[in-house]
Amino acid sequence: MHWRCGNRVLDLTRPVVMGILNVTPDSFSDGGRYVRPEVALERAAALAAEGAHIIDVGGESTRPGALGVGEAEELDRVLPVIERIARTLDIAISIDTSKPAVMAAATAAGACAVNDINALRAPGARAWAASAGVGVCLMHMQGEPRTMQHNPVYADVVTEVCDFLVRERASCIAAGIADDAIALDPGVGFGKGLEHNMTLLNGLSRLAALGSPLLVGVSRKSFIGRILGRETHERLYGGLGLAALAVSLGARVIRTHDVRPTRDAIDMVSAVLQGLRS
């Protein structure tokens, strides 16, 4: 299996790590730490050195309750960072955005993939992605970040998420996006309560069976804190357990703040499941 992202092809024979680089003042875990481009570049270099295969740059917080930012402000945050990373590091870059103009500008600056919590449903997003030839990740979310945790309701969360992702993938392919350029994300923690998240994680094998690369992001999320009684900065081990579980159930991309320990965890799981390379 592979994920075609512009002029790069990510080999997913073994699972890979997507390192999170938030250049926002209000992200739930690391808001404000990497807003200066030179500091963000240092962080990107550290993520690459720790074993990240792709760096996901985001300029708008999508934490529960987050308010949106304008297009110009988002561009001001992400473009200087992407330009510096592209000039300095030989690594794939994704842009975490739902705005087509930001997607286009970020790709021109050096990004090769779009990670969109809105599954490319903004007007013009799919036509642009098809013409640009970028990799895309389609995520499921019930509602929007500002209100998504206000009493989310599902009859069967795994089936509903599968149906949504299959439908949106088909629409993207119909718009001209290559099948092997599409990854799928069940959106753990996005418009889902605690039991929904647990059920969804337990059902990841059904999502993996859809045939596209499955991306899972659980790093430092609040439901880990609820189960373990841990603050945000104390959720590493819970996140590693979930990353290992996700890979064992078929996930091929793990999105995380903590690259080195996550890489170690999923490499060990992969070695057991697939056998050590000679």
pLDDT in tens, 74-129: 999 999 999 999 999 999 999 999 999 999 999 999 999 999 999 999 999 999 99
Residue 230 Cα to chain centre, angstroms:
23
Residue 32: pLDDT band (50, 70, 90) is low
Catalytic residue list:
221, 255
Mean pLDDT of the chain: 92
Q: CA nearest 176: which of 131, 122, 218?
A: 131
CATH number for position 50: 3.20.20.20
- pLDDT one-digit tens code per residue, 252-262: 999 999 999 99
Q: Give pairs for 124-129: CB < 8 Å, separation 24+.
A: 124/100, 125/98, 125/100, 126/171, 126/172, 126/175, 126/176, 126/177, 127/175, 127/176, 128/100, 128/103, 128/104, 129/103, 129/172, 129/175, 129/177
Question: Does residue 26 register a pLDDT over 60?
Answer: no
Structure token digits, residue 237: 């081990």
Domain containing 58: what range? Answer: 2-274
- pLDDT one-digit tens code per residue, 194-246: 999 999 999 999 999 999 999 999 999 999 999 999 998 899 999 999 999 99
Quote the number of domains for the chain: 1
105 in Cβ contact with 75 (< 8 Å): yes
Question: Does residue 4 register a pLDDT over 50?
Answer: yes
**CA diameter of the chain:** 51
Q: What's the whole-model pTM score?
A: 0.92
Quote the CA–CA distance of 42 and 37 in Å, as a whole number: 9
